[in-house]
């Protein structure tokens, strides 16, 4: 099985689904089975399918031990009340032949406990190597309904959500691109070799000159390079990145694409009126009309994606105008977590040595989309061959459909794909993530995930994540409005930038430490 062929089969749309077709994943035939009053459990039944799935465990493949997966979680409401998150057990799930299922806990460093550390979702993926459409019927998730305050006779509505993810296996990698990009990581003041991340152990930066030996170098020297953002540590600062900070060495899952507008609306419409008021992004864009390719509209009730003609709702287009607080709320709600800037580089580069000035697809070759075909449609694509949406994308005044650059049998470079299959890491929208360049960011604990529940005002409430003031968070990857140097994989020009409001350039995606 050829990796590039498999990688590009990721292609078209990478969205979530809820009780039907909402992009890449179809979740159908959802129901709640008989509630067992003795065990306090009930099965949540559904079928699932998505196109362009793959799994490769061939040790000789360019990207061995890699696959895509669906992160599946459940929301319910009791007697027509507010939507809540379903607590899942760690066993008792029904998995059809040909599929694998792993339960994701709130805290992946602790043991399962239905009260304090329940399952908040599951990963579903192929159990054997293969590529193409993944379709399975007869899944059941074991829901501990009594834990969630549900009785045997309560009326229950459910929504089953699924988000496409890529698996990033455990392994060493390099962060930095030989001091070519803005403030990229380097080993010493006279040694521009990148950082070598060979474990999840704590690492300490220093003021060393460095003693690089070229491509074969694997010594652990870490010198911090600053872009002098407000509050950022200075170049050469000495600090420790704790063991619990996710450095990208340990296995994790990453969303294939940035959060889409359909995904955002699905999230938004499960919130209370008060929570919606807090998370309303139409105030940031200043309109309920199509603006910078954002089509989300909300005045009251549920948010919508109005038809702009011929079925063009822009639901597949990446969601912009996201503040850090917006992104954190979405990830908490979905049982995911923010990514670190080291995980960002791992997902793009893989295990290879850095190419100076490279983009997320491992090359310095970049071609901007100059026009859009089928604008706002599920099959939106660049008008001519392109692998990125950035400043040279004349006529594309906003983000494009997630994964839009992938088509047919294109190579990884032509599709603009990260090493493990994540799309749009360079360009389209800024990736909001956690930086190592401030003490507040280094306090981030990668084992702590969202529990599916927001505060009454609509805020994420995971105490080890950077707060709503964005201190400790930052930006990587560039956006549709900026030139090539900003969208390079190792560019850190805004890695520690503090900017609370969202803009037409700001998006994001989530990750999850793998079980």
- Residues in CB range of 54: below 8 A, 6 or more apart: 6, 7, 9, 10, 66, 67, 68, 126, 130, 131, 132, 421
Encoding tokens for residue 218? 């694997």
Question: pTM for the complete prediction?
Answer: 0.94
Encoding tokens for residue 506? 């700001």
Encoding tokens for residue 334? 């979905």
| DSSP assignment letter at 262 | H
Q: What is the pLDDT of residue 62?
A: 63
Q: What is the pLDDT of residue 24?
A: 77
Q: What is the pLDDT of residue 393?
A: 81
Tokens 């070519």 correspond to what residue?
A: 180
Judge whether 49 and 403 are in contact, CB under 8 Å: no
Q: What is the pLDDT of residue 14?
A: 31
- Residues in CB range of 428: below 8 A, 6 or more apart: 258, 318, 388, 389, 399, 400, 402, 479, 480, 507
Q: What is the pLDDT of residue 439?
A: 95
Tokens 């359909």 correspond to what residue?
A: 262
Tens place of pLDDT per residue across the chain (515 aa): 233 333 433 333 233 333 332 347 999 999 999 999 999 999 999 999 999 899 998 776 666 789 999 999 999 999 999 999 999 999 999 999 999 999 999 999 999 999 999 999 999 999 999 999 999 999 999 999 999 999 999 999 999 999 999 999 999 999 999 999 999 999 999 899 999 999 999 999 999 887 765 544 555 789 999 999 999 999 999 999 999 999 999 999 999 999 999 999 999 999 999 999 999 999 989 999 999 999 999 999 999 999 999 999 999 999 999 999 999 999 999 999 999 999 999 999 999 999 999 999 999 999 999 999 999 999 999 999 999 999 988 789 999 999 999 876 678 999 999 999 999 999 999 999 999 999 999 999 999 999 999 999 999 999 999 986 668 899 999 999 999 999 999 999 999 998 778 899 999 999 999 99
CATH number corresponding to 245-515 = 3.90.1580
CA angle, corner 45, sides to 117 and 162, nearest 5? Answer: 65
Report d(CA 416, CA 357) in Å as an integer. Answer: 15
Q: Where are the alpha helices (DSSP H) in 323-411?
A: 324-334, 341-349
Q: What is the pLDDT of residue 365?
A: 95
Cite the residue boundaries of each domain of the chain with CATH code 3.90.1580: 245-515
SS3 sequence, 130-185? EEEEEEEEEEEEEECHHHHCCCCCCCEEEEEEEEEEEEECCCCEEECCCCCCCCCC
Phi-psi category of 178—alpha, beta or left, where left has phi over 0 and alpha has psi -120 to 50? left
Q: What is the pLDDT of residue 510?
A: 98
Report d(CA 87, CA 452) in Å as an integer. Answer: 9
| DSSP assignment letter at 71 | E
Q: Select from 122, 166, 131 the least CA-distant residue to 55.
A: 131
Per DSSP, what are the bridge partners of residue 434? 340, 473
Exposed, middle or buried by CB within 10 Å (0-12, 13-18, 19+), for 411? middle
């Amino acid at each position: 099985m050829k990796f590039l062929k498999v990688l590009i089969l990721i292609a078209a749309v990478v969205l979530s689904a809820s009780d039907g077709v909402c992009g890449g994943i179809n979740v159908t035939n959802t129901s709640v089975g008989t509630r067992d009053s003795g065990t306090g459990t009930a099965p949540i039944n559904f079928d699932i399918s998505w196109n362009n799935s793959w799994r490769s465990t061939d040790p000789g493949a360019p990207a061995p031990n890699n696959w895509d997966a669906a992160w599946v979680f459940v929301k319910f409401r009791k007697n027509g009340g507010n939507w809540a998150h379903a607590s899942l057990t760690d066993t008792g799930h029904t998995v059809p032949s040909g599929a694998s299922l792993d339960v994701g806990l709130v805290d992946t460093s602790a043991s399962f406990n239905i009260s304090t550390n329940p399952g908040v979702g599951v990963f579903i993926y192929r159990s054997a190597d293969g590529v193409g459409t993944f379709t399975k019927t007869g899944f059941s998730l074991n829901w501990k309904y009594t834990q969630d305050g549900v009785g045997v006779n309560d009326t229950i509505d459910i929504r089953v959500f699924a988000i496409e993810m890529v698996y990033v296996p455990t392994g060493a990698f390099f962060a930095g691109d030989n001091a070519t990009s803005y403030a990229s990581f380097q080993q010493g003041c006279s040694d521009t070799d990148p950082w070598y991340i060979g474990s999840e152990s704590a690492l300490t930066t220093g003021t060393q000159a460095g003693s690089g030996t070229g491509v074969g170098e694997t010594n652990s020297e870490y010198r911090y390079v600053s872009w002098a953002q407000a509050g950022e540590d200075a170049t050469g600062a000495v600090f420790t990145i704790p063991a619990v900070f996710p450095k990208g060495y340990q296995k994790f899952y990453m969303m294939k694409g940035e959060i889409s507008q359909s995904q955002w609306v699905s999230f938004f419409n499960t919130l209370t009126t008060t929570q919606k008021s807090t998370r309303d992004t139409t105030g940031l864009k200043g309109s309920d009309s199509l603006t910078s390719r954002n089509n989300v509209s909300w005045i009251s009730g549920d948010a919508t994606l109005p038809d702009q003609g011929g079925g063009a709702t822009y639901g597949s287009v990446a969601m912009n105008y996201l503040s850090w607080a917006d992104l954190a709320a979405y990830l908490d709600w979905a049982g995911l977590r923010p990514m670190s800037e080291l995980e960002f580089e791992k997902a793009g580069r893989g295990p290879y040595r850095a190419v100076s000035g490279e983009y997320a697809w491992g090359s310095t070759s970049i071609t901007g989309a100059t026009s859009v075909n089928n604008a706002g449609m599920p099959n939106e694509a660049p008008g001519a061959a392109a692998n990125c949406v950035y400043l040279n994308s004349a006529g594309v005044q906003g983000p494009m459909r997630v994964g839009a650059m992938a088509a047919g049998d294109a190579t990884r470079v032509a599709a603009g794909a990260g090493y493990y299959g994540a799309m749009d890491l360079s360009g389209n929208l800024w990736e909001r993530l956690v930086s190592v360049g401030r003490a507040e960011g280094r306090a981030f604990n990668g084992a702590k995930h969202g529990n599916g529940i927001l505060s009454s005002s609509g805020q994420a409430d995971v105490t080890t994540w950077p707060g709503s003031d964005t201190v400790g968070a930052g930006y990587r990857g560039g956006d549709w409005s900026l030139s090539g140097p900003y969208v390079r994989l190792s560019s850190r020009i805004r890695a520690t930038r503090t900017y609370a409001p969202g803009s037409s350039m700001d998006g994001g995606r989530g990750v999850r430490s793998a079980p």
